[in-house]
A and B are shown apart, each in its own frame.
Chain A
Amino acid sequence: MIEELIINKILQEKSLGILLKNRISPDLFLTEKDKIEFILKHHRKYGVVPDVTTFLEKFEDFQIVEVTESDEYLIYKLREAYLYKDIVPVLQETSRLVREDSIKAIQFIKEQVSRLLREHQVQVGFGYDIIRNAGDRLVDYKRRVETEGLLGISTGIRQLDELLHGWLAEDLVVIFARTNKGKSWILLFFLAVAWKLGYKVLLYSGEMSNIIVGFRVDTLLANFSNTGLMNGSTSLGRQGEERGVEDYEQYIEELQQKEGFIVVTPKDFGGRKPTVSELCEVWDYYDADILGIDQLSLMADERNGESKTVRYGNITEDLMIASEKRQKPILLLAQANRESEKDKKSKEETPELHQIEYSDAVGQNATRVISMNVIDGVLKLSIKKNRYGVVNRDVLLMWNIDYGIIKPLLDEDELESVEEEYGF
């Protein structure tokens, strides 16, 4: 009954507000999922909730009633009903385990309850005893020792991994720069690294076609000249390096045996900018391990915020929730604002956090923010926000995008000995 009441409320108010504000996905509807999906699909297509007549044409047996209950009550009951479905098998299994070994049973139910609370985002005010649960930290610490601090997907750059611990679950990383600084390239580089490490990758490319993205990835993976590929040149190697059509053919042949780097463009969304929900549908379909978005301004806000600032805030908030829910990282490109272009003093430096275009909420919603600047063949990445570590640290990289060479310049650990070796 509670599901019918929520649907009635949506139809009555002609708004998806109750779902969006409470981060309710259609999966929470156990008996009326088809109806809620119909409403969402209609909203995506026409920008409004269907009216009662349209809805009843599709679901003629549905009971229209007036709803006076508060959102809080309805959402609580919906979540409670969903949790009930999930907790019953846990309790049954616990009951079976208790008969065998009560300690194992307690451990099992403890893990399962934590999982359910996390998955259902149930807001409970029990808190967490950091003293009694100190053991959790020991487990976490040992994991960090084992992985030498790399907890997530490697960035492909050792210094950056040391500062960021890789791309983490629940990570919404905003990478921003002024125009024409090569943001798309650095995103593709990070995604190509993840793919090479065996992770499944999804990229939303708002401007570049699949073919152009593909050529760039070829350049990053195998250092074929991008200019050569784009111009149809038969010479694809560096100076003094013989690489041509046959080498590219051989590379493509080997590459085709693999899979897992999915690119979606506005074409996949009927020629328009996708919303976060639409992108997440694709994300879930492929079950990708990491999502890259090129770029924020080419996404649509499903809440139709009245200004760019509000819309960008809404989109990044939805992305943050999407990442939390899936426990997978998102890398999002954003533009630096016009002020940063005008700011003569900092024109040559990496832009600051407040210089993300329409920035306040974007910076707040991000777990990490990386600013980038390119100075004649050198890429400077500056960590401007890092929820899990140090900030205001820079990493310098060689930046030759024609041959896809993006690598750290002068390894920090060996600086002194290398300086001596070079005779400087």
Chain B
Amino acid sequence: MANELCWAKSYCKKYGSSVCHQFCDVYVLLKAIYSQTNIPKKYQYDRQITPSKKDVEAYKQLNAWKEDVVNKVESGENLFIWSTGTGNGKTTWATKIANYFIRKSVFKKEIENLVVYVNVPTFLEQLRASYDQKLPEVDLLKERLLNAKLAILDDIGAEKSSAWVVERLYEIINYRDNEMLSTIYTSNVSIQDLEDRLDKRITSRIKNSTQIELVGQDRRERRR
């Protein structure tokens, strides 16, 4: 038997055994956890990623962060993965780390407020739409974003900046910073450039992150 839907299929020693079915305790817990993460489906499962030569060192650093993610989250540390190029693994790495954190947390039986992912420009659009028309799912996502032990703010800096955007982002980032909740940011700009687009109040709270730059070429391009 093999539960093809299981998030742990790439590492679970029980995968394919007689206990690998939809009533497996671990599968049921993972299902409850992932249903709250908002991580896009394709990033929920383990994705192999090969660095270009220029990124070998950065990958090593990212892997080290991943291996130590439980402690990093415990102490409220942040990670800023950035690259001016696209398609070189920022989102993949952010979600790889989050998936690993879930793997390490599932046996602690914590299922609430563990991990949440948002693509910043999309989330801000949703948030804006929810002002005109009540969207409970957006309120819920925002609550999760405020309270999750580990949050991914993907593609920060790609949103069209405005005073409204700055205030909304400040509210979230400041709250998480005060509560010492761990955040992984990905961006197409450096923190210095982010300051020009957003606000010093925001970037001063991101600056304490471990900053890792990826410089390799677009993997999606490489595949073509």
A376 at the interface (CB under 8 A from B): yes
Q: Please, how many angstroms separate the alpha-carbon atoms of A321 and B111 in the complex?
A: 39
Pairwise interchain contact A424-B103, C-beta atoms closer than 8 A: yes
Known: A375-B35, A378-B111. A410 touches B26 (CB 8 A): yes
Residue among A344, A421, A424 having the largest count of chain B Cβ atoms under 10 Å: A424
Known: A348-B140, A348-B143, A398-B28. A424 touches B36 (CB 8 A): no
Distance between A181 CB and nearest chain B CB, rounded to angstroms: 14
A73 at the interface (CB under 8 A from B): no
A345 at the interface (CB under 8 A from B): yes
A419 at the interface (CB under 8 A from B): yes
Q: Please, how many angstroms separate the alpha-carbon atoms of A377 and B23 in the complex?
A: 10
Distance between A160 CB and nearest chain B CB, rounded to angstroms: 14
Pairwise interchain contact B140-A347, C-beta atoms closer than 8 A: yes
Q: Please, how many angstroms separate the alpha-carbon atoms of A419 and B31 in the complex?
A: 17
Beyond A238-B23, A398-B28, A424-B8, 6 additional contacts (C-beta under 8 Å) are: A348-B113, A348-B144, A375-B35, A375-B111, A422-B26, A423-B12
Q: Which residues of A237-278 have CB atoms within 8 Å of chain B's CB atoms?
A: 238-239
Pairwise interchain contact A424-B139, C-beta atoms closer than 8 A: no
Can you name 14 A-B residue pairings with CB atoms under 8 Å? A347-B140, A349-B112, A375-B111, A376-B36, A378-B111, A396-B109, A405-B23, A415-B107, A419-B107, A422-B13, A423-B13, A424-B8, A424-B103, A424-B107
B25 at the interface (CB under 8 A from A): yes
A409 at the interface (CB under 8 A from B): yes
Q: Which residues of B132-154 have CB atoms within 8 Å of chain A's CB atoms?
A: 139-140, 143-144, 147
Residue among A418, A419, A422 having the largest count of chain B Cβ atoms under 10 Å: A422
Of A348, A396, A424, the contact of B12 (CB 8 Å cutoff): A424
List, in ascending order, chain A residues with CB within 8 A of B124's CB.
none
Chain A contact residue count (CB 8 A cutoff): 25
Interface string of B8-32 (1 = CB under 8 A from A): 1001111000000011011011011
Q: Please, how many angstroms separate the alpha-carbon atoms of A421 and B107 in the complex?
A: 12
Known: A347-B140, A348-B36. A409 touches B28 (CB 8 A): yes
Q: Please, how many angstroms separate the alpha-carbon atoms of A415 and B25 in the complex?
A: 12
B73 at the interface (CB under 8 A from A): no
Pairwise interchain contact A410-B35, C-beta atoms closer than 8 A: no
Pairwise interchain contact A345-B143, C-beta atoms closer than 8 A: yes
B106 at the interface (CB under 8 A from A): yes
Residue among A418, A421, A423 having the largest count of chain B Cβ atoms under 10 Å: A423
B168 at the interface (CB under 8 A from A): no
Q: Please, how many angstroms separate the alpha-carbon atoms of A418 and B11 in the complex?
A: 14
Interface string of A387-423 (1 = CB under 8 A from B): 0000000001010100001000110000100110111
B104 at the interface (CB under 8 A from A): yes
Q: Please, how many angstroms separate the alpha-carbon atoms of A348 and B144 in the complex?
A: 9
List, in ascending order, chain B residues with CB within 8 A of A345's CB.
143, 147
Q: Please, how many angstroms separate the alpha-carbon atoms of A423 and B104 in the complex?
A: 10
Pairwise interchain contact A398-B11, C-beta atoms closer than 8 A: no
Q: Please, how many angstroms separate the alpha-carbon atoms of A380 and B110 in the complex?
A: 11
Known: A345-B143, A378-B111, A415-B107. A424 touches B11 (CB 8 A): yes
Distance between B115 CB and nearest chain A CB, rounded to angstroms: 14
Q: Please, how many angstroms separate the alpha-carbon atoms of A220 and B140 in the complex?
A: 33
Of A238, A239, A349, A424, the contact of B106 (CB 8 Å cutoff): A424
A399, closest chain B residue (CB): B28
A345, closest chain B residue (CB): B143
Pairwise interchain contact A376-B14, C-beta atoms closer than 8 A: no
Q: Please, how many angstroms separate the alpha-carbon atoms of A348 and B32 in the complex?
A: 12
Known: A409-B29, A423-B11, A424-B12. A376 touches B35 (CB 8 A): yes
Of A347, A410, A421, A422, the contact of B109 (CB 8 Å cutoff): A410
Pairwise interchain contact A378-B36, C-beta atoms closer than 8 A: no
Q: Please, how many angstroms separate the alpha-carbon atoms of A376 and B30 in the complex?
A: 10
List, in ascending order, chain A residues with CB within 8 A of B112's CB.
348-349, 375, 380
Q: Please, how many angstroms separate the alpha-carbon atoms of A311 and B12 in the complex?
A: 54
Residue among B8, B25, B113 having the largest count of chain A Cβ atoms under 10 Å: B25
Distance between A236 CB and nearest chain B CB, rounded to angstroms: 16
Q: Please, how many angstroms separate the alpha-carbon atoms of A133 and B32 in the complex?
A: 51
Q: Which residues of B70-124 have CB atoms within 8 Å of chain A's CB atoms?
A: 103-104, 106-107, 109, 111-113
Q: Please, how many angstroms separate the alpha-carbon atoms of A415 and B109 in the complex?
A: 10
Distance between B114 CB and nearest chain A CB, rounded to angstroms: 11
Q: Please, how many angstroms separate the alpha-carbon atoms of A422 and B12 in the complex?
A: 5
Pairwise interchain contact B13-A378, C-beta atoms closer than 8 A: no
